[in-house]
Amino acid sequence: MVFDDGLLDDEDALRPADADLRHLAEAGSRVRREAVSSAEPLEVAVARLIDAPPRAVVAAGPDSRLLRAVLEPVCPVPFVAWPNPGLPGWAGALDLVVVLAPDGTDPATAAGVAEAVRRGCPLVVASPEDSLVARHVPGRHSTLLPTVTGDQLATAVVMLELLDRVGLGPDTDPDVVASALDEVAISCSPFRDLAVNPAKLLASGIAETSPVLWGGTVLAARAARRVAESLRRASGRAALAADAEHLLPVLAAARPADVFADPFADEVADPRPSLVILDDGALEPVVIETRDRLREQADANGVRIETVTTGADGAVARYASLLATGQFAARYLQVGLSEPS
């Protein structure tokens, strides 16, 4: 399939994508809804935990990896992400267990929650109030943060606000995260044309390539992996997110560009890579140095470079902004690769 960037500003071509684009645009609203839904029980949990710092924090369940990306660099006590069933053998009454269960239907997660209650662990679970997981929460040291949207990021923001307020996580204000997502929704709106729309520009820039994505911080790297997943689903083509040492050989092996190639007449070999940098504004010397190495290698081999940036305030808001921009771009890529009706 050949990418047609004219479809990105075509109302008829965009119409089948309306539901997906609308869902992406409502991400900020979902964060606000979760913050309101969980406000009262969150205050109860803060009051219970504020004067009793845990020995360790265990993030249990398959959705724990996002918490790990946020908390590992800053949590003042030992932190363990435990995506496996149950809990670590050492977890007990001195250890805080937190669980994200956006849909609340996973039996293994419910079993882990029941085990935390049985061991007497301080427990906070973010899950729908009438879900399978929620039914295992009641206990002397347990708190349920009732969620309503089924959105993983919005559910995580609720939990991260709690951890921030008890001194175990980074600054996390749901309103700031929601505002960052609203800004992306405006800048990446289907009603903004290609010339001024960062998501449409990104989709157009990587359309005829195999994108390789890199983020320099833990959260930017996670955003890169999630965006790569979205690009693969949207296009059915390869998209790789990895550390710099794995991407540099890919860039170095890129075949020279053929400026005379006709994508309509010539049989095209495997597409050349493009480098997509998710830049969350990190100023650490090692991040800057690694980013420069990737850029230099890409330039040396004539590899196209696309950069996604954000001016959001706070690590979680920057992660949300990078992720949302990439997800908008993936949907626009799918539009541009579709056959015109």
Q: Which tens digit of pLDDT belongs to each residue from 17-53?
A: 999 999 999 999 999 999 999 999 999 999 999 988 8
Give the pLDDT score at 296: 96
- 202 with 98, same domain? no
> Any idea what the CATH number is for the domain that residue 130 is in?
3.40.50.10490
Q: What's the number of domains the chain is made of?
A: 2
Question: Which residues fall within 8 angstroms of residue 256, CB to CB, at 6 or more apart?
Answer: 301, 302
Give the pLDDT score at 259: 60
Q: What is the mean pLDDT of residues 149-172?
A: 95
Query: What is the secondary structure of 219-260 as a DSSP string?
Result: HHHHHHHHHHHHHHHHHSS--EE--HHHHHHHHHTPPPP-TT
Which DSSP category does 322 fall into? Answer: H
pLDDT-derived band at 150, boundaries 50, 70, 90: very high
Residue numbers of the domain that contains 121: 54-167
pLDDT tops 60 at residue 265 = no
Q: Which two tokens stand for residue 264?
A: 């309509």
pLDDT tops 60 at residue 263 = no
Whether residue 76 lies inside any domain: the answer is yes
Give the pLDDT score at 262: 61
- 188 with 325, same domain? yes
pLDDT tops 70 at residue 266 = no
- 201 with 300, same domain? yes
Of 145, 167, 189, the one marking the end of a domain is 167
- 149 with 187, same domain? no
Whether residue 218 lies inside any domain: the answer is yes
What are 275-305's pLDDT values in tens digits?
999 999 999 999 999 999 999 999 999 999 9
Whether residue 39 lies inside any domain: the answer is no
pTM attached to this predicted model: 0.93
Averaged pLDDT of the chain:
92
Q: What is the mean pLDDT of residues 154-179?
A: 95
CA distance linking residue 140 with residue 120, whole number of Å: 8
- 187 with 145, same domain? no
Phi and psi (nearest 5°) for 278?
A: -95, 105
- 182 with 308, same domain? yes
- 13 with 89, same domain? no
- 158 with 206, same domain? no
- 235 with 142, same domain? no
- 136 with 272, same domain? no
pLDDT-derived band at 255, boundaries 50, 70, 90: confident
Strand partners, 99: 60, 125
pLDDT tops 70 at residue 341 = no
Of 167, 196, 231, the one marking the end of a domain is 167
Whether residue 96 lies inside any domain: the answer is yes
Whether residue 40 lies inside any domain: the answer is no
Task: Write the single-letter amino acid at 283.
Answer: L
Whether residue 49 lies inside any domain: the answer is no
- Percent over 90 (pLDDT), the chain: 86
- 212 with 290, same domain? yes
Of 167, 187, 210, the one marking the end of a domain is 167
Whether residue 283 lies inside any domain: the answer is yes
- 128 with 191, same domain? no
Give the pLDDT score at 258: 62
Q: CB of 153 within 8 A of CB of 100?
A: no
What are 86-101's pLDDT values in tens digits?
899 999 999 999 999 9
pLDDT-derived band at 312, boundaries 50, 70, 90: very high
Whether residue 84 lies inside any domain: the answer is yes
Beta strands 304-309 and 273-279, pairing class: parallel
CA distance linking residue 241 with residue 210, whole number of Å: 11
Give the pLDDT score at 340: 60
Among candidate residues 325, 62, 108, 21, the one with its CA nearest the CA of residue 202: 325
Q: What is the mean pLDDT of residues 115-121?
A: 95
